[in-house]
Amino acid sequence: MKFSIQQETLLQPINQVVGVVERRQTLPVLANFLVSARGNRLSITGTDMEVELVASVEADVQAEGETTVPARKLVEIVRKLPEGVKITATLEGDKLLFSSGRGRYTLSTLPATEFPATDQVETLETVKIQEVELKKLIDKTSFSMANQDVRYYLNGLLFEFHDGSLTTVATDGHRLAVCDSASDLGVAQDRQLIIPRKGVLELSRMLSDSEDLVELALGKNHVRLVKGSVIFTSKLIDGRFPDYQAVIPKGTDRHISLDRTSFMLALQRASILSNEKYRGVRLEAASGSVKIVAHNPQHEEAVEELEAELNFDQIAIGFNVTYLLDALSAIEGDSVVMALKDANSSCLISSEAGGNDKHVVMPLKL
């Protein structure tokens, strides 16, 4: 194998793919990129056995072939080379020789045959969606995913296709985020897919605010997205997602309306003196205002007071401040409504102007 390529041309695909390569692996070859030179194209593949990314670019291929090279070492070398220089790579035995200007780099390789191949994706349905809309659906919910929870089906994002549309849902058992697609995607069959956390984060990273359509291929065990010269493939979590509709509180007759930005800034200031372990803040709503109170074991205290519109006399309730801030960051609009039943029930947070996303946060006993 031998190819030549410009530094900036090679940097783009390896930067796109390196995020999927884990720093700690069970198999040595998973620390490597699969580098394949065919025709006039160079393709770079990275995988962690769950998520796979393939990016390809044009290159001057003098001898076809493929091998695997240490991913992070290759990225660091290419990143630190001067912009605009030409790189020539030659495979000699089990070493890949990189030369650029007066620099020479010899990288160890592992055979391409050891690199795990992704199972063929048996496509059940293909969905076209605007890139910006898919990114929004992910970004407005993914922060509520669990991380390494024993309930493995919570360590991912639910894609629920129903009535021709798409809803994304995430929960870690303490909070829930739901976002509905703004458009009818013409989905033929109702189905639920749970994309694992790693896949969701990589998908969000590769999507932009473009209004171009991207294609999601939905399989029985995989989901695949093709965007330009990058192919994203992720296995699905085999599990049943809880009935999220049952978690959204009903009959919430107490409403608190607040300015979103003022509320966020006050929470951020108060959180500085909250307990680092529980991150708890107490909201005391009464007579046209909300008081935010935070304490910590050093007997320090923060108190913030905000104007608010209430349709009831008073309530005092505790929350994890991080969960409140995450929900408020996702919501668009100038003012938010917190809807509650009582001091022991979960709280529904949404934009007062209406929006496609809803957030449920469980109360905290302080």
pLDDT value at residue 37: 98
The label of the residue with tokens 């309306």 reads 257
The 8 Å CB, 24+ separation contacts for 158-165 are 158/192, 158/193, 158/194, 158/241, 158/244, 159/192, 159/193, 159/194, 159/195, 159/223, 160/191, 160/192, 161/127, 161/185, 161/187, 161/189, 161/190, 161/191, 161/192, 161/193, 161/218, 162/187, 162/190, 163/190
- Residue pair 133/165 in contact (Cβ under 8 Å)? The answer is no
Domains and CATH numbers, the chain: 2-114 (3.10.150.10), 123-245 (3.10.150.10), 248-361 (3.10.150.10)
| Phi, psi for 347 (deg, rounded to 5) | -115, 135
- The string of pLDDT tens digits covering residues 204-234 is 999 999 999 999 999 999 999 999 899 999 9
pLDDT value at residue 273: 97
What does the block give as tokens for 169?
Answer: 């849902």
The amino acid at 239? G
CA angle 37-38-44, nearest 5°? 45
Query: How far lies 292's CA from each of 43, 303, 318, in Å?
Result: 54, 6, 9
Cβ atoms within 10 A of the Cβ of 355, count?
17
Q: What is the mean pLDDT of the chain?
A: 95
Helix (H) or strand (E) holding 185: none
Name the percent of the chain lying above pLDDT 70: 100
- Residue 65 pLDDT more than 80? yes
What does the block give as tokens for 232?
Answer: 């994203």
- Residue 26 pLDDT more than 80? yes
Determine which of 56-70, 115-129, 239-253, 312-326 has the lowest per-residue pLDDT on average: 115-129
pLDDT value at residue 303: 98
- Residue 138 pLDDT more than 80? yes
pLDDT value at residue 51: 95
- Residue 119 pLDDT more than 80? no
pLDDT value at residue 193: 97
pLDDT value at residue 125: 92
- Residue 183 pLDDT more than 90? no
pLDDT value at residue 202: 95
For residues 276 and 297, give the distance between their C-alpha atoms in angstroms, rounded to a whole number.
9
pLDDT value at residue 117: 82
- Residue 121 pLDDT more than 80? no
- Residue 118 pLDDT more than 90? no
- What mean pLDDT do residues 115-140 have? 91
Strands of 228-327, DSSP E? 230-235, 254-259, 280-286, 289-295, 301-307, 309-310, 314-320
The label of the residue with tokens 């009582």 reads 342
Confidence of residue 188 (pLDDT cuts 50, 70, 90): confident
- What mean pLDDT do residues 82-91 have? 96
For residues 335 and 259, give the distance between their C-alpha atoms in angstroms, rounded to a whole number.
4
Q: 161: closest CA among 143, 186, 182? A: 186
pLDDT value at residue 366: 77
- Residue 25 pLDDT more than 90? no
Confidence of residue 6 (pLDDT cuts 50, 70, 90): very high
- What mean pLDDT do residues 102-120 have? 92
List b or e across 317-344, with b for residues whose CB sees 16 or more CB atoms inside 10 angstroms: bbbbbbbbbbbbebbeeebbbbbbeeee
- Residue pair 204/135 in contact (Cβ under 8 Å)? The answer is yes
Cβ atoms within 10 A of the Cβ of 26, count?
8
pLDDT value at residue 285: 97
